[in-house]
Structures are given as structure tokens and as C-alpha cells.
Structure 1
């Protein structure tokens, strides 16, 4: 009996041990993390004096930018947002430009002092404790900002306004919450710095085995790096050049363009020089002489599709009624498909205004084949319009400028293809440029 009792006690102890181990092994942990996803946007307002007088409550909007999965825009009111202020103040707001409900965020608006003093005007949520927490935007179009951001008279006499230009920086911090089970212990992995390492290789010229002579300047580089990045260089080095040939003369490119080309090849980024990429809309016929256009040509020559897209992105920002025809011709010349498509769509959607521009005359004289492509795009816009799309009918645009009693041009169709379209093109051109009804005989 005693022996049995001992055995039973032993079993009880084992059971207790098992139960304790089970409790310990089932322990888990989690952590709620609430933080902000931050992003910034720089908004440059050129021609401030021309924007004045547009009216109280009317604004100039920046391009939309994305932070935290939502789109945002900066609204600048030259005559203020509040009618009671009688245009005595300028107003600045940040608006939620995409769909969203109860989006919580922190904001910072900075008007940049353009003098060497750098005494910027800053309104920020980030550097102070908010009693009621982050600001909540209820729906698309909700805004945060200041009706009385700056007295207009003081602004116009200050160093914030320089060369009729204002610069506003906006930072948005979208509040996000998550349950984090994995970050109790973390090891931070920095961003790749391979571009900076290859960039130093270019700058130091260490191990270079080829020299390019461009416009009197010499650039040292590495055949293997160039060949790895460009099939054009690969073909030139390993299929055409002699193995011991290490000098190449480039006659169709400026030194600054070739330098930017090498910068991209080694660093996978555009060269950081705002002056080189500044818009030059006032010199439209010479848009092919802009730095972005020349770099686009270089990217096409050396088969660098990513660099081409970067240049297309820069040129795309300069598209307007006056410039689109010149940029379209440029895009066609260098096989810039994305840029060309945007130019064609923009031209089709604004056809009447584009046809009245000098660029349109340039297009007709120098790039006649692009007319057919533009006509096909116009036809596509018409189909989209008839299918209740968002594109405004080109005929609706055109009829705005002709007499109501003669719009027979509306009756023409695209059924006979490009040849039929070319006749229509002539009618449209005559109607716009010669101030006669499109249906009237010459």
C-alpha cells in the first residue's frame, strides 16, 4: 500500500509539472503601434502678381502627391478664402484629394524665406503636443490650413516673395495604427548604397579602362559597367572595338549631357541640378535644345529605357496648349512612347486651342504623319464621349468657335479611315484659322 501511494504521488507531481509547462509555453505578446507615415511636397508659385485678383475663394492648386496611401494637394488663395477679410490676407490649405473617410493626419506648412537669412514661416503640428490629437479629415475635399496665413501687404514687401515667386513646403503625416508582433526585436537594414559606391568609382576614375572625348572634355569610365547597363555600349565594346582601343570621340553630344548620362549609368538617378531641368516654355520652338530633350536623345542612342522615362517625366510637366505640339514631335523623334501618348491625348482633348497655336503649324509642316495619329486619337475621344466617358467631345469644343447655323462638320464620320480624316483635318484647320464656318465652301 505504501508503495502504491508513492507511485500515485509521483504521478500527481508529474501532472503538476506538465500543467505548469503548458501554461508557460502558451504565453504570447503583441504590441499596438500608432505612428505617422510622412511625406513632403514643394509647391512653387510663379507669377504671383498675375494670380492676384482672381477672386476671393478661388485658388491655385499644386499637383496631387501621395502620402500614406492618400492623395493630397496644396491650395493657395491669392485673394484669401474668407470674404470678410476683403483680400487682406492670402490663405493656404492642404486638401484631401482622394477618397477617404476620417483620415487622421498631422500637417506642416512652411513659407520659405528666399533671402540668405532663411527665417521661414512655419505652421506645424509636428513640434508641439496636440490637446485634441491629430486633425481628422472627414471626406474627399476636406481641408486644413489658415484663412489668414499671411497679410498680403506684408507678404509683398517681404523676402518670402522673390522674382514674383513664392515657395511653399508641405509635410503630411498620416496616422496609422497596427498590431505588431514581430518588431519587439528588430535589426534595421539600411537602403541600398550601391549607387553611391559606383558613383565614387566614376568620380575617382579608379580602374577606368576607357576615355571619352566630348566637346573638349575627357571622361574616364569602365567598359564593364557601361556594357552591363547599356546594350549599345555592350555591342560597341565587344563586337566592334578592338580590345586595346580605349579612346572614343563623341561628336553628337555636349559634355554636360554626357556627364549626366554617365551619372545615371553609375548611380541610377538623374543628376541633381535644378537649373538644368528648368522649364523653358518661353523658347518653345527650341524645346529640343533643352537639357531634358538632349538627355532624352542620349538615352535613346545608348538604349537606356529607364533614363528615357525619367526624361519623359520631366518633359511631361511642361505640356501646355502652346508647347504640346513641339513636345509631341520630340517624343515621336526619340520613340518616347509614354510621352507621345500623353501629348496625343492632351491635343485631342484640347484640339481647337491647340490648332490655333504656333506649334500646330510647326507640326503640320515638319511632322505630317503625326496628323493621322492625332486624328485617330480624336476619334477615340469621340467614342469615349459617346460612351459617356469623361473626355469632352471635340465637336463640342469646335462648335464653341463657329456659328450655330452651320455645323455640318459634326456630320462627318471616321468610317473611311485616315483618308477621310485628312479631309476633315483640312476643314477643321480652315474653320479655325480662316474664321469661316467649317461647312462653308472656300
Structure 2
């Protein structure tokens, strides 16, 4: 009878396979790889090197692999005294300063007959079994005391014209953590207000004309509708006329209308609580305030009061709006005021 371990809950629902890109989790990869290099070492006059003594060696020139220096050590009479010079020994040694250098090695004697029957001792082929070899300090070695019997070597194709050729391969292990690169994009400050003003000045895409006195002003329905619920109802509402392309405006000076149109299109786009005071200090606002004091003063003061006291009753009057000089909806009460210059203005309540 199978018993589940305590604290382990059983579930009959299969675990869903994660879809690529389905989550927003982070990822990283630990990567181990080798930096490989080789060296060819030739011993000429092998017969003259025999008899130099057990533990005596012939060293190759140093070569660099993976940022470390290496050298091949060949012992014609062997490295181990107990073998009585019956074997030749071959080692690869760390020839530069370094600690705990992990690497894979391969030592070969080249078949000089051209048949390719090289005598190979390779650590690369056994890496999965034993892993890389660690050299603790300078002079640490990897190799074989009994690389090959000397009597067999001297009768083989490895020795030709009293010459031996050895081949060494070193693979230094390198580890690194790989993480996705986060690329940053510098986003410039928004100049949407200026962009809409330039669009209005260019008259590109204009689809509505306002006639004020003898002057015509072109505008964009979508932009006006986005900034004014009255225009939205007039142009796109159920009671409005979506095909209207001209509006005649009465009782307003053309110059004041032009300022209002620019304000509604461009400056109003800057309306956020943090920017209201900057807008009120601008020269354009001062000019508009002189022409339409009741409209702009009340509008901006209302929003500014929300910033200072978000719990005040004014902060809850977010649905109120004012539109100067136009009564396009045709319903609702109207109030009139006169500015210091004697111009008559209308304000929606």
C-alpha cells in the first residue's frame, strides 16, 4: 500500500504546460564551456635523450590557452622509479600562476607512417564521467607515468628517423552567467500641445470651418470633440449633425475666437494638476484671461483648488465644464457677463 508523505496534497488536475512568453518572469542561464588550444611538440634525437635518468624530463616551449601558460613534459626514462625505465611518461603542466584551474586534456603520439593510428590518451572523452581536472597551483600536472612501453615505442611507427612527435590539446573551463540584456530607450518630453498647434496652423486634415464675422477659421472635429463635450455632442452625438462642415459664430470678436480655438486645441492638452500653475503664468493665458476672464479664471481656479485640497467640494465637481461664445447644444441655462472692455460673453452652466 502506497502512502503519501505527510504535508503533500494530492491533485487530480494535470499541470498546465507553460506557453512560451505566457508569463512575465525573469530568466538566466549558467553556461560552462571550454576555451581550447593545441600544441605540437617534436623531440629530435630520441636515442640521445635515453638514459638521462628516471624523473628527468624534456620540456616543450610554453603556450597559452584560456589565459594560462602550459608546457609538455616528456620523460624518456619514465617518471616513476618503480617502473625501472620500462615506460615513457608524458605530462601537461600549468606553467603560470593560477589556482584551481579546471581543464580537460588530451595527449597523443603521432603515427608518422601516415595511417593515423595515433596513441591517444584523452580526458575530453571521459569528461562526463569524471569532470574537468583541477590544477591547484603552478607546476600542477596531468598525464600518464606509463604513457607507453618504451620497447614497443622504439619498434613502432611513432618513432621515425629518431624523432618523436607529440600533440597536446587543452580545454580550459570557463563559466559565466547569461542574463537577457535590458535595453533602455530615452523617451523625450512630450510636446503634444505644440504638435496640435502646428497641425492647426498648417490646416492639414481640417474638416470643419467656423465663420466669425468675415473671417473663416479651420479646425478638426475630432480634436474639438476630444476637448469639449458640447462639440462632441454637436459633431458625433445623437442630436448633432455628423455631416456639418461649417458653423457660424455670432456675438464674438474674430481675434478672441482665434485665441480660444488655439487654446482649446493646444494649451488645454497640457491640463494636468501638476502643470496648472505653469499654464496660468504663461503670456498666452494672460492675454486670454483679459479677453475672457470669467471663463478661464473660474476653470483654472477650480482645478487648482483640487490640487490644494482634494477633499473639498470643488474636487468632486469634475463633471462641470465651460465653453465660451458658442451655444451649439441648444439647451441648458445661459448666463451672460461683461468683461472690462465691454464685450459680451456667454458661459455654459
Greater strand percent: which structure? 2
Give your verdict on TM over 0.5: no
Greater RCO structure (CA 8 Å; 6+ sep) = 2
TM-score by length of 2: 0.44
TM-score (norm 1): 0.35
- Greater share of helix residues, 1 or 2? 1
